[in-house]
Amino acid sequence: MLTGEIEKPWVTGKDFYERLSYYVTYSVAMLGIVGSVLRVYFSWVQTPRLGNLCLVMEDNFDTFDNQYTWFQEVDMSGFGNGEFEMTTNSPNNSFVEDGKLYLVPTLTSDVIGTNNVLNGFTYNITGCTAINSTTGCGAVSNETAGVVINPVMSARISTKHSHNIQYGRVEVVAKLPQGDWIWPSIWMLPVEETYGAWPASGEIDIMQARGNAPSYPAQGVDYVRGSLQWGPFTWLNGVSRTFGWWTNRRQTFAEKFHTFAMEWSPEFIRLYVDSRLTYMLYLRFNEPFFKRGDFPPVVQNGTDFISTPDPWKDGTPNVAPFDKPFYLIMNVAVGGTSGWFPDGAGNKPWLDHSLTAMQDFALAQDEWYATWPQNIAERAMVVDSVKMWQRC
């Protein structure tokens, strides 16, 4: 049997270095917490805000108001991008169901037959709204000449005649389509071309994407991109200096709804997905766009060489051309020759500079249509809501 007091050296003889490590560990942890709080606080304080906002438009798609809110563009022209779809006002391509708007690409051959798409058929689109009726309202397929009827029908709607904002906020809650060479977009154009024809008067791309699978080497449906388009001429565009993207590594943007947002003031513009933390583009208006573009001082105009003009010299300093009212557009394009789908990436069945690009795309229909879901909800851009606020 043991008698006497039991020795407890860990009570009477504490190790100095053990105590020091204890206090150092907790001190560093506390400093980390305090530093994080301060960083969050100052980031919050310094984040530019829009100020007071007034709601000017909200659509939750209980109905499809294509009389007073949405303008359906009916056009076969390719919209300057050499797109391969025609846009229609058909309920096959744009409709509302269960509180959601569907913008759906479909095959033209399902309406007029494959042979007519490829050769010997004259097609005039019903309800055409194209500015140039010669190129936008009809086409004649001619196999020998390499001309086909646009092989896809789709939709493009806008608030061109109803709602616009000059500084404010836009939120669109949407789920993106899947399928090779499908090109969904949520974007804005100026109400008036104050500074000249596109892109001199600007373009705001809130969201653009590609329906191609994540394995596509030029950013597929797991990426979205935001950008500003601006420049003195169509071939002199400063977009390469004002664009960015966000990627969803765990899911594609076709698997669930996301909020695609734009915040715009005379001081900055911000394009983001779901949260300001997941921004595609944040740009301060801290220098003139003509200076930002670093354009060549002299350009060729026809046979003459001229000084590169500054279209925005009379606009709001540092902000023009993004100092005027813009309206909202939502569309689902397919293909095109603008470079959005780079040549040589992902077994692309056409070349942008080919005179028969649309014909080559049409002839490859069996290949690319096999990647399009038969379920319309997966092939469409599905929009749950749209909101626009004006800074007031």
Q: Are residues 30 and 170 in the same domain?
A: no
pLDDT in tens, 317-350: 999 999 999 999 999 999 999 999 999 999 999 9
Q: Are residues 170 and 21 in the same domain?
A: no
Residue 339 sits in which domain range? 52-391
Q: Are residues 133 and 29 in the same domain?
A: no
296, 161 Cβ separation under 8 angstroms: no
Strand ranges inside 230-325, DSSP E: 243-247, 258-264, 268-273, 279-284, 298-301, 304-307
Q: Are residues 337 and 227 in the same domain?
A: yes
Which residues pair with residue 224 across a beta bridge?
Answer: 246
DSSP 8-state assignment for residue 294: T
Write down which residue in 6, 24, 45 finishes a domain.
Answer: 45
Q: Are residues 31 and 83 in the same domain?
A: no
- What's the whole-number mean pLDDT along residues 52-70? 97
Name the residue with higher pLDDT: 282 or 135: 282
CATH number of the domain within which 263 lies: 2.60.120.200
* Total domains in the fold of the chain: 2
* pLDDT for 169 beyond 70: yes
The b-or-e profile of 54-85 (16+ CB within 10 A means b, else e) is eebbebebeebeeeebbbbbbbbbbbeebbbb
Q: Are residues 97 and 35 in the same domain?
A: no
Q: How far is 103 from 86, CA to CA, in rounded Å?
A: 13
51, 41 Cβ separation under 8 angstroms: no
Q: Are residues 92 and 241 in the same domain?
A: yes
- What's the whole-number mean pLDDT along residues 207-211? 98
* CB neighbour class for 27 (10 Å; exposed up to 12, middle 13-18, buried from 19): exposed
- What's the whole-number mean pLDDT along residues 47-52? 76
Q: Are residues 80 and 30 in the same domain?
A: no
* pLDDT for 238 beyond 70: yes
87, 74 Cβ separation under 8 angstroms: yes
Strand ranges inside 130-179, DSSP E: 138-141, 152-154, 156-158, 168-175
